[in-house]
Amino acid sequence: MRFGILKELTEKRVAITPDFVKKLVAQKHEVVFEKGCGEGAALVDELFVAEGAKAADRAEVLAAADVITTIIPLPESDLDQVKKGAVLISQFQPFADDSICEKLASKGLTALSMDMIPRSTIAQAMDVLSSMASIAGYKAVLTAADHLPRYMPMLSTAAGTIRPAKMLVLGAGVAGLQAIATGRRLGAMVEAFDTRAAAKEEVMSLGAKFVEVEGASDDKAAGGYAVEQTEEYKQRQADLIFQKVSKADIVITTAQLRGRPAPLLVNEEMLKAMPQGAVLIDLAASTGGNVAFSKHREVVKTHGVTIVGNSELADEVPEHASQLFSRNVENFLKHKDFLSEEGFSFDFEEDIFGSACIVYNGEVRFGAPALTK
């Protein structure tokens, strides 16, 4: 089979890195890549060529590839150039907008959506959401430090002692936990809040204080996402968060609801109560945001605080983000020999592959019951 690697139109990352190219070539597959596809991630063309890939322009890759892997789904103009029967691997997010399935089906394509892989123990090695969230959590703290007009650690100097910055993390999933760990390493005093009781032990193990609101609905079947809470709980949550936000130098928000707008956790009144110069990093900005006035990929200054909205902070660490994404795809394709020298083995009864395949040969599978081989 011929694998195609394209330059992302809005990202520095690249979906397949040279180390995976080497393995594909060893498995008797061909690899063709768009010139300059990895430059944003410090992966020059020579690295791809050295592992056996061939350079081409974008139109050639689109027309020739049997399998195309991207981080962001291809735009309509590119889909028109992909040959019928090709397999597309990306993050299609059909749970947010299932019309993408009909669009792909109308082109006679097969689509494997990496964000539909179950977030289970066996699938951890192929979980792109966790890989990218971990990087985003790390980068969120560095971004906050860059905008903060104060030190993060406590410093004892000849001129006196500087107190450590207070950091509050709202949402202690993968991104939140990485933010906590990074904030602690940089010397901040860290507190964290999450509706999931299971997060308490993880937060405390990293040396942070867990902010707990009694009476949360804890859905263990939610795949790592927060769940909708009662109005009474939301009010208690808002009151406690107000107290914590009003004293924080840095607030990092990560709370997202799968397929629904992100919950608003920090409203305008909270922003007004924050210390001047405080910084908020909203990792849920692309789905509406956890912070009032937050805008995706924009920096907003209001009421004396800085709000950085960016759900794609992993793209600011493009080399390692590309490596992790590529390894996730590699682990997915080698799971139970989905990909061999002969091509794909489409086993819809297998939980991981059956969930990821949202369109098969022009037929929509998203939301369909399990099928036989």
For residue 26, CA distances in Å to 47, 53, 146, 189, 309 come to 16, 11, 44, 49, 42
Residue 367 · residue 98 · CB < 8 Å: yes
- 233 catalytic? Reply is no
- 150 catalytic? Reply is no
- 130 catalytic? Reply is yes
- 91 catalytic? Reply is no
Which residue among the candidates 27, 81, 106, 124 is catalytic per the annotation? Answer: 124
Which residue among the candidates 58, 66, 93, 119 is catalytic per the annotation? Answer: 119
Which residue among the candidates 90, 130, 294, 326 is catalytic per the annotation? Answer: 130
Which residue among the candidates 151, 225, 260, 340 is catalytic per the annotation? Answer: 225
- 124 catalytic? Reply is yes
Structure tokens at 289: 């945001």
Distance, in Å, from the CA atom of 183 to the CA atom of 190, rounded to the nearest integer, reads 7
Which residue among the candidates 115, 127, 249, 315 is catalytic per the annotation? Answer: 127
Which residues are within 8 A (CB) of 38 and not within 5 positions of it... i.e. 6 or more apart? 5, 14, 17, 18, 44, 45, 47, 48, 322
What 3-state class would DSSP assign to 69?
strand
Active site residues: 119, 124, 127, 130, 225
